[in-house]
Amino acid sequence: MQSFDLAANGLRALNSALHGLKGQTNMTAWEIINPKGAHAIAAGVDAPVDITVRGSTGYYCAGMNKQATIRIKGSAGPGVAENMMSGTVIVDGDASQYAGATGRGGLLVIKGNASSRCGISMKGIDIVVHGNIGHMSCFMAQSGNIVVLGDAGDALGDSLYEARLFVRGRVKSLGADCIEKEMRPEHYAILEELLRRGEADHKARPEQFRRYGSARKLYNFNIDNASAY
């Protein structure tokens, strides 16, 4: 395992080393110690490596991640896994606002709670939150799945497109054009797989969840009005 002391060697040296891991590498396991809330730790990694951050991080940790598995042994600041493309990011604690924002792929797991705007404008990412999520989560979410084992705050799924939202607890309020939808067999299958991959408690069962999605009233395309677009 490659051990990197962030306090001693600095963020630029760390990210430069991680960005140098192009394609296949035998330096597959990394440990980052003394993060002390630093920002942009392991941002832009594009290699099939395992990275463990031993402590809490600042904003944009694991942003733009591709291929890597990154585990934060603490809590994460704003924008963790922002614009993630693939791979896995696991936060053992809580996450601040806009976790997983604009994520296009991969899996983000938050073992604690997530603050406001979790999954905002998500574009294909899967997010599993073991605790609660804050207000305006999944605002303008376009595709992908979010699974919330706890409660959701105000205006869930406001201006939603085609993402799937699964919530086990209470939803304080739904945003514009977001409605509760039927749970069909394919949704139970998706949810069961996400609960497994998201390391959820074995007591969590797909039948305990409700699904929310777009009412499709805000973005209808009518061919008769094509000349107006």
Asked whether residue 79 is assigned to any structural domain, the reply reads yes
Residue 111 has what pLDDT?
98
pTM of the model: 0.94
Res 50 pLDDT > 70: yes
pLDDT score of 226? 56
In a domain, 205, yes or no: yes
Residue 124 lies in a domain: yes
Q: What is the tally of structural domains in the chain?
A: 1
When pLDDT is cut at 50, 70 and 90, the band that residue 43 belongs to is very high
Mean pLDDT of 128-135: 98
Q: According to the model, what pLDDT value does residue 223 have? A: 56
pLDDT of 159 reads 95
Q: Residue 100 falls within a domain, yes or no? A: yes
Region 186-197: mean pLDDT is: 97
Average pLDDT rounded to a whole number, residues 13-41: 91
Q: Residue 20's pLDDT band (boundaries 50, 70, 90)?
A: very high
Question: Do the domain assignments include residue 106?
Answer: yes
Give the domain CATH number at 168: 2.160.20.60
Q: Higher model confidence: residue 218 or residue 38?
A: 38
Q: Looking at the domain assignment, is residue 222 inside a domain?
A: no
What is the percentage of the chain residues whose pLDDT exceeds 70?
94
Type of residue at 73 = K
Domain that includes residue 175, residue range: 2-217
**Would residue 225 count as lying in a domain?**
no
Per-residue pLDDT averaged across 192-219, rounded? 94
107 within domain boundaries: yes
